[in-house]
Structure formats: C-alpha cells, structure tokens
Amino acid sequence: MKHFISPADVTDIAQLVKEAAQLKANPYAFSDLGKNKTIGLLFFNSSLRTRLSTQKAATNLGMNVIVMNVDSDGWQLEMNDGVIMDGNKAEHIKEAAAVIGQYCDIIGVRAFAKLNNRKKDYQEMVMEKFRTYAGVPIVNLESATRHPCQSLTDLLTIQELKTVERPKIVLTWAPHVKALPQAVANSFAEWVNLTDYDFTIANPEGYNLAPEFVGNAKVTHNQNEAFANADFIYAKNWSSYEHYGEVLPGNKDWQITPEKMALTNNAKFMHCLPVRRGLVVADEVLDSLASVVIQQAGNRVWAAQAAIKRVLEELG
Amino acid sequence: MKHFISPADVTDIAQLVKEAAQLKANPYAFSDLGKNKTIGLLFFNSSLRTRLSTQKAATNLGMNVIVMNVDSDGWQLEMNDGVIMDGNKAEHIKEAAAVIGQYCDIIGVRAFAKLNNRKKDYQEMVMEKFRTYAGVPIVNLESATRHPCQSLTDLLTIQELKTVERPKIVLTWAPHVKALPQAVANSFAEWVNLTDYDFTIANPEGYNLAPEFVGNAKVTHNQNEAFANADFIYAKNWSSYEHYGEVLPGNKDWQITPEKMALTNNAKFMHCLPVRRGLVVADEVLDSLASVVIQQAGNRVWAAQAAIKRVLEELG
Amino acid sequence: MKHFISPADVTDIAQLVKEAAQLKANPYAFSDLGKNKTIGLLFFNSSLRTRLSTQKAATNLGMNVIVMNVDSDGWQLEMNDGVIMDGNKAEHIKEAAAVIGQYCDIIGVRAFAKLNNRKKDYQEMVMEKFRTYAGVPIVNLESATRHPCQSLTDLLTIQELKTVERPKIVLTWAPHVKALPQAVANSFAEWVNLTDYDFTIANPEGYNLAPEFVGNAKVTHNQNEAFANADFIYAKNWSSYEHYGEVLPGNKDWQITPEKMALTNNAKFMHCLPVRRGLVVADEVLDSLASVVIQQAGNRVWAAQAAIKRVLEELG
C-alpha cells in the first residue's frame, strides 16, 4: 500500500480488517518491521484518540515516532500556489512537505475541513499537497472529507460484534451546537458501501451527505423508521453539505435516546468520539451495555497498526 | 501497588524510599520491566520537573512514553455528571479516561486545584474520575490536594542528607504574589507525618493547612521560633485553606533570608521548585551551600521510577 | 567536543563536515553510542526542521529524546540576576538549567534574538546561562546570534555539490516583511570564513552584519555584481544590525529572481528555510533545478548527528 489516504489506496478491505484483528491478537508480531523507520504525525487540528492510538500503533511496529502540532510547534503554512507570501504564513506547504519527507519514512497528517468553501475542502488540498510533495507515504489521520483510520476501526468493531452475517447498520445524524466536518460520516459511508452490509443513512432534510459518499446507501429523513431492526446505530453529527458548513435550525429531537434504541434489534451503539452527552446522545444510552464506544476507540490502535504495517511492507 | 495517588496506596513508605535510592544507584536494573508497556502522561497544567523526570523514569524502566497537554493538544473535558454538554467542553472525562486506558498501561495525571471551590478541589474529582473510569493504574503527577511524587522525592532527599537519626524538619510558608495550591505542602506534611521525624509547620495566621494533612505536626505562627535548631527548612508558598484560595495581605517578612537560616542547626534549604527569587527566598540562601534544591529536583527521577516500578510489578 | 554552541567549540571543522557525510552514508553506525543517554530539546521559539532533524539525529545515535516547548509546556523563565521575581516569570534560568541538567545528558536550546536590545542579544545570555548552570553539554539549536547546526549543514551541502575546489559563494540579503534575527547569516559567514572558499556578502546599505561575523569576507551593496560568476547563492533575510532589529524601507528589488540567477555561474540556490515565496525568492527559482533547499534541509539530520556524536564521545 503506497499511501493510506482513502479506500482507493486499499485493494482488499476485508483482508485489511482481518489483519487488524490479527494485530489485536498479537500486537508485537511485527515489532521489527519498523526498525530504524520514523513516522512523523502532523496535527493541524486537535486530537486525542488519533494522537495516542497512532503513536501506540507505530511503536508496536518498532518505529520511531515524532509528533508535531504544526501551527503551534512550528508556524502556519501557505497552501495556495503563486501567492506573494507577505502575510502571516511563514512557509509554503511545498517546502514543508518535502522537508518533512526528508526526515520521516511515513507522514501522518490531520487537517480538518475549514467549512467555509466546499469546493476547496472537497479538493483535499492539504492531503494532496503532501501526497505530491512529501516523497514518502502519507497516512490520513482525518482529512477534510475522510477519516479512514476511523472507518477501518469501525469495520473491525462491527466484525467483532455482529451476530448475523449481514447486519443492518444505521448511520444517523445527531444534533450538535457547533459546525462539524462531514469527514467521519463520509468515510463511514464510503467504507460500509464497500461491504455487503445492509446500510441506511438517516439524517434531517438539508443534511444529505455528498452523493459520492452516499453511494448506494438507503437515505431516509425518518430516524425512527431507520432504527427499526437495526443491529448497529452509528451516531454522528455533521454540518450541512448542501448549505455548506451550516448548522440548520431545529432537529434537537434527533438525539439518540433509550426510546429510540428500543426500536432496534438490540442494536449496539457506536460513535467515533468525542461525543457530547445530553446533546448527541442521552447518558442512559452511552452508559448502557449497548454502547461499544470504548471498545471501538480501543480498536483505533489495531486499525492504525494494520494500515501502517501495510505501508511499511510496501516501503521494504 | 495498584495506583500511586496518595500515601494510602503505599503500604511501606520507608521501603519505597529505599527502593528509590537503589534505583538512583542502579538506574537500569529494571530496564526490561516496562517492555511493551506504555505510560501516558496527561498534563492539565504546566510542568517542567514532573514532565521531564517522569519521562526519564519511565524510559529507564523500558516503557514507551506518550505525553499529552490535554487542553491544547486535545480539548477541554467535562468533569461533571448529568450535564447537557452544549458549552465549550468537547468530551466527558468518563469517555476520555476510559479511552486513554485503552492505549496506556499506566496513566499519569497532573490536574491542579482551581482554588475557587474548596469542597470540589478537596474531592479530587479529576484524579478520582480517572481512578474510576480509566481501568488502568493512575499515577498522581500533582493533583488538587497532593503531590506524592514530590513528597517521595523529599523523603529520599532528607534521608540522603540527614546527619542525625531524627532530624527536625520545618515546613515553612513563604510569600508569593499569586494564589498557589496547597498540594505540595499538604503532601509533604502527610508523608513526613508517616515518618518519625520531628516535624513543625510554620505559617502565618490564616494559612493553616487542612487538619487532615496537618495531622500531629506542631503548628506555629512564629517562623523564627520554628527555625531554631531545624535540620531541614522546607519552604513553600500556599494560598489560604481557611479563606480558600486567597492571598491574605501582609506576611512579606516570611521570606527565607540568611538571617533566618542562621537560627537553624546549619539546616539544609529545600524547595520543590519553581521558586521565585527575592520573593520566596533570598538569592543568598538559594545560592548558598545550604541549598539542596537541585539535588532534590534530580531525585524526582528516582521517586517517580520507584513508584512506576511498583505499579508495573503489580500489573505483572 | 564539550559543547556545540559556536565554531569556537570545534577544533577541526573540515573533519566534522566529513563525519557528517559519513553519517549520511551510514546513519546507524553509532546507534549504541547514545544508549541510556537522554537529550532534552528546549524550544523557546518555534521550529520545524530543527525540531524534527535533531530528534531524528539523536534517535539514530540511540539516545532518548525529550522535547519541551519551554513557555507553553512550562512557564516563562527569568533571565536576569538579582531581581525580585514578582512578575510573570515563574522560575529563574539558574534553577531551570541546573534542574534540566539533572535529567538530560545533553541539552539542545533554541532561543532567538529578541531584536530590541543589540547588546543583550549579542551577549547570548540564554545560551551562556545554560552553559554556566546546566552542568552538561549544550547544543545550540539557534541562539540570538548563531545557528551552527545550520551552518554545518550548509558546509556539508556545499561540499556535496561544489564542482570546483574553491567555489564562489555569495550570501545575499533578500527582502522580508518581518524583522528577522541575524543568526543564520552571522553563522553562515562565520563558518564559511573558516574555509578557504571565495566568499562575498551582498546586502543593502544599512544591513551590514556585525564586523566579528563579516570577518574577511568581501562586502558589497551591489547584488548583481556579487552574483557574477557565483557558484552558490545563499539567500537570507535579516533585520538591520546597525539600526538594530529594524526593517529599513525599500530594497524589495533584492528578491532572488531568474534574471539574477542568470548572472551566476549556473549557481545552486540555497536557503535555510522557511522561505517566503514571491517575497524572498521567485517561485521560478525555488522550483528550478538550481534550487537545492530540500537536500540542504535533509542534511540537517547529519549535521546534528555529527555534532551530537562528538559531544557524546567526549561524555564517554
């Protein structure tokens, strides 16, 4: 695997999920693979799970890890070409990416959507500039439109917990006070669409995801209907794609409650975290046995480790 | 040792001090003990000595170390239960602690007193939430009311330097411009009370520590009287416990000066650092041979290493 | 080598450049040299290349690395003696340096010029305090007036790329919108002056470097004249030394353009980075084959590794 930026980089997703499960069973089986190899983890945005789990994953593979909060440890990067850099950006991403590629064998990059220009966000400028200029493999630690480490984790978690061959999975929008990126939801849809699970996306009107991510999934604006017979409820807020980056009024009643969970087939509750209690989901759901969010978060290590292992193997 | 949060977690303090001394003599004797084990060091507050010495201690034990400034690398955590999280806290400590426990075999936590609500601070909410939800051992890197890594260091330093079996130790309040927590002073008193040293606490009126930390120590408001025949002067500022979190007017004359040190039995000067020169202590004292603050700070490594070693041994 | 603060610490610069080249060819030849040794990298200022390359260099030598952003991870340090510390500085550098020296076998320090007091900056107070109080070797990661890790890198890069025995090297001032330190330019001049290369410094009037750094270099205010027959163009902005810390009006025409590069002997373009495109240098130059800035930045690892290796060898 040359990069791990989107599922297009993965030829065999089912096999990759399987490898993640194997690494979970045997974390140090490949502890020599990364010897004398360095991964740089670059954060343009805050991170808890991704920061810790990716460090852990790389360390399990014997790699050296360097972590950098780009803006505060360093400085702001200019992303656009052909500009006169007389503002507050001290370095162009063209140099920064190439230089970091001199020091790192693999670069992990987190750079969220800015949510003020849909076209720009969906061009994935930061990730693509790193792919173009770094000269080394890039691992996506959540980009403007995708979060593949999370989605691989999610498929691993579903595989561990499913009790039927073809579970019904519902990705449901849930309320929030802030405008959040669509990346987790996009990516989850994209990856589940590559399985043969029964997949439904439930969201209020105005919150349809981008068509290329929705794919063949069923889309409904009726949350209760979606929940009927669901085996997995995957809750996540996202800001509007149609009215780009906006939080539309209303829809507070989309919170995940015990009443709604009762409509399901004893479904497991999933969320990528961080999650706002009492807003996205009721305490009673998150504190119930149905909630598997901690197991899901724990699986971040094995997903990251599987992805990095693949990239290391290709590096040779 | 399951956790290292307070002396209640330690059954044999004298033996632990001895182990710290042994690790100082032989730092790499247990360099395999922490193999493939990860310690996460979480800072809700700034740190220099604790940050560096704990990293060093864990590395000496062969552990992997992950450091995180919680608020700036990640985001603010909600500490209270049952709230609707529609403010500026992105994640509840219940999830955060449990998730970090998925990635770390031991978690070190620094979270100072906020000094605006005595009851809340003295409930040690952050430390207790981590103990409850993380699912792994917790090491206290200074909590609202205690700093056991410092106190273990202090006992080690006293043991190294005492010239009589039962030295007279004086914990003395000293002036400061900011309101500081009582944690170091509380903890020092708590640990010294578990030895049979002759122990006096000197502080201005209004600055008595909480009775549960004072214990059987002598308390005086007469600094000069306290210094007479002292073998160790341990200086530290703290804000008022009685008038919680306040800096009371006056008391600038409590600065530690050469004149006061002359009243002692050639006492060693100790301070946990950082210390404000010319305010807490006169330059002449800090720069004199009586000052052992650098040796004391150096001992932080061995105290942390002894504590983490104990926790690792219990982990198996 | 006791310290690596300035070229005065290096007895044989040509040999050190050679060692850096050897480490580039064989990065892990000394991977046991730093076993159980810790380097602390202290940043009082932002850093990308230095941060990453020095971590990499120390790791290649088998060292443990601790990184700290002093002001944000810790607190501000008081640098002046004899003051009453009742302001916003929580700790004196005298204690901080000595304490960090307890935890680290080598300390790397980055502390830029403040540019408001020439005498103070040129006294190199921070570096000298660390040298005096830390009790362990200091590596200069860019100080107020010097950047020796960069200069050693630059000599390595020139050695790799020169096609004649005695190339003509031009250090040229280039425009910028912010007041920048003279450290990189000073240091480059200082190191090149220790070789027998043909060396010219070109800068506008008012931008002459300090005489002790200019040494025997030719100085001209005519950029085009300087470029004639040059083999290496080393571009860098610096604020005025004469009108200390000022950005003097005008001189925008000192930007490095293809037209000016055409005056040279097919010169290589060098810059320490970060560089502002369209201001310091035209995109066409930076994107041309003449530009060697990425190779130059990559060499930072080997320069740092050679310097740290020397210090480790002296530590024994």
Residue at A210: amino acid letter: A
Residue A126's nearest CA partner among A79, A82, A83 is A79
User: How confident is the model over A40-60, as a mean pLDDT?
Assistant: 97
What class has domain B7-147+300-315? alpha beta
- For chain C, the domains span 7-147+300-315, 150-297
According to the model, what pLDDT value does residue C316 have?
80
Tell me the sheet residues that pair with B4.
B139
According to the model, what pLDDT value does residue C21 have?
98
Residue B67's Cβ-count burial label (10 Å; 0-12, 13-18, 19+) is buried
State whether residue A260 is helix, strand or coil. helix
Q: Do C56 and A64 touch (CB under 8 A)?
A: yes
- Rounded to the nearest 10°, the torsion over CA A155, A159, A162, A163 is 160
Question: Is pLDDT of B162 > 90?
Answer: yes
For residue A98, give every residue at least 6 positions away whose Cβ sits within 8 Å of its Cβ, in sequence order, or none: A133, A134, A135, C294, C297
- Which of C52, C273, C286 minimises the CB distance to A66? C52
Residue A290 touches partner B, C-beta closer than 8 Å: no
Q: Are A183 and A145 in contact (CB under 8 A)?
A: yes
What CA–CA distance (Å, rounded) separates C71 from B59?
A: 24
Tell me the nearest-neighbour CA distance from C216 into chain A, angstroms: 32
State whether residue C45 is helix, strand or coil. coil
Phi (first) and psi of residue C202, to 5 degrees? -115, 125
What CA–CA distance (Å, rounded) separates A110 from A45?
A: 6
B160-193: b or e for each residue (b if 16 or more CB lie within 10 Å)?
Answer: eeeeeeebbbbbbbbbbbebbbbbbbbbbbbbbb
Residue B165 touches partner A, C-beta closer than 8 Å: no
CATH code that applies to domain B150-297? 3.40.50.1370
Residue in the block written with tokens 């107020």? C144
What CA–CA distance (Å, rounded) separates A75 from A110?
A: 15
Residue C45 touches partner A, C-beta closer than 8 Å: no
Q: Which residues from chain B sit within 8 angstroms of residue A278, using beta carbons? A: 82-86
Q: Do B51 and C74 touch (CB under 8 A)?
A: yes
- Number of residues that this document lists for chain B: 316
Q: Which residues from chain C sit within 8 angstroms of residue B51, using beta carbons? A: 68, 73-74
- A118 Cα distance to chain centroid: 18
Nearest CA in chain C to A66: C52
DSSP summary character for residue A251: -
Q: Are C76 and C89 in contact (CB under 8 A)?
A: yes
Domains C7-147+300-315 and C150-297 share a fold: yes
Question: Is pLDDT of A217 > 90?
Answer: yes
CB atoms within 10 A of CB C27: 18
- Which tokens belong to C47? 């850093």
The confidence band for B316, taking pLDDT boundaries of 50, 70 and 90, is: confident
For B228-247, how does the pLDDT look when each residue is reduced to its tens digit (9 = 90+)? 999 999 999 999 999 999 99
Phi (first) and psi of residue A75, to 5 degrees? -160, 175
The confidence band for B265, taking pLDDT boundaries of 50, 70 and 90, is: very high
User: How confident is the model over C18-42, as a mean pLDDT?
Assistant: 98
User: How confident is the model over C41-57, as a mean pLDDT?
Assistant: 97
Angle between helices B300-315 and B13-25 (to 10 degrees): 110
- C5 Cα distance to chain centroid: 10
For A10-24, how does the pLDDT look when each residue is reduced to its tens digit (9 = 90+)? 999 999 999 999 999
Decide: pTM greater than 0.95: yes
Residue A24 touches partner B, C-beta closer than 8 Å: no
Q: Which residues from chain C sit within 8 angstroms of residue B274, using beta carbons? A: 75, 90-91, 95-96
Nearest CA in chain C to B176: C86
Tell me the nearest-neighbour CA distance from C297 into chain A, angstroms: 6
For A248-294, how does the pLDDT look when each residue is reduced to its tens digit (9 = 90+)? 999 999 999 999 999 999 999 999 999 999 999 999 999 999 999 99
According to the model, what pLDDT value does residue C232 have?
98
For C97-149, how does the pLDDT look when each residue is reduced to its tens digit (9 = 90+)? 999 999 999 999 999 999 999 999 999 999 999 999 999 999 999 999 999 99
- Which tokens belong to C200? 């010219």
- Which of C82, C92, C96 minimises the CB distance to B48? C96
- Rounded to the nearest 10°, the torsion over CA C149, C150, C153, C155 is -110
For A157-198, how does the pLDDT look when each residue is reduced to its tens digit (9 = 90+)? 999 999 999 999 999 999 999 999 999 999 999 999 999 999
Tell me the sheet residues that pair with B236.
B173
User: How confident is the model over C289-301, as a mean pLDDT?
Assistant: 98
Would you tell me which residues 69-128 of chain C have a C-beta closer than 8 angstroms to some C-beta of chain B?
Answer: 72-75, 78, 81-86, 90-92, 95-96, 98-100, 102-104
- A236 Cα distance to chain centroid: 12
State whether residue A92 is helix, strand or coil. strand
Q: Which residues from chain A sit within 8 angstroms of residue C286, using beta carbons? A: 95
Residue A231's nearest CA partner among A201, A204, A258, A263 is A263
- Using H for helix, E for strand and C for coil, what is the string for chain B? CCCECCHHHCCCHHHHHHHHHHHHHCCCCCCCCCCCCEEEEEECCCCCHHHHHHHHHHHHCCCEEEEEEHHHHCCCEECCCCCCCCCCCCEEHHHHHHHHHHHCCEEEEECCCCCCCHHHHHCCHHHHHHHHHCCCCEEECCCCCCCHHHHHHHHHHHHHHCCCCCCEEEEEECCCCCCCCCHHHHHHHHHHCCCCCEEEEECCCCCCCCHHHHCCCEEECCHHHHHCCCCEEEEECCCCCCCCCCCCCCCHHHCECHHHHCCCCCCEEECCCCCCECCCECHHHHCCCCECHHHHHHCHHHHHHHHHHHHHHHHC
Tell me the nearest-neighbour CA distance from B84 into chain A, angstroms: 4
ipTM (interface predicted TM): 0.97
CA distances from B141 to B51, B146, B304, C73 (A): 9, 9, 9, 15
Q: Do C95 and B273 touch (CB under 8 A)?
A: yes
CB atoms within 10 A of CB A39: 27
- Rounded to the nearest 10°, the torsion over CA B284, B285, B287, B290 is 140
What CA–CA distance (Å, rounded) separates B290 from B296?
A: 12
Q: Do A74 and C277 touch (CB under 8 A)?
A: no
Q: Which residues from chain C sit within 8 angstroms of residue B27, using beta carbons? A: 36
- Which of B36, B73, B84 minimises the CB distance to A279? B84
Residue A43 touches partner B, C-beta closer than 8 Å: yes
Residue C32 touches partner A, C-beta closer than 8 Å: no
CA distances from B25 to A262, B21, B304, C171 (A): 62, 6, 15, 52
Q: Which residues from chain C sit within 8 angstroms of residue A84, using beta carbons? A: 277-279
Question: Is pLDDT of A316 > 90?
Answer: no
Sign of the CA dihedral with C41 first, then C46, C50, and C53 last: positive
Residue A274 touches partner C, C-beta closer than 8 Å: no
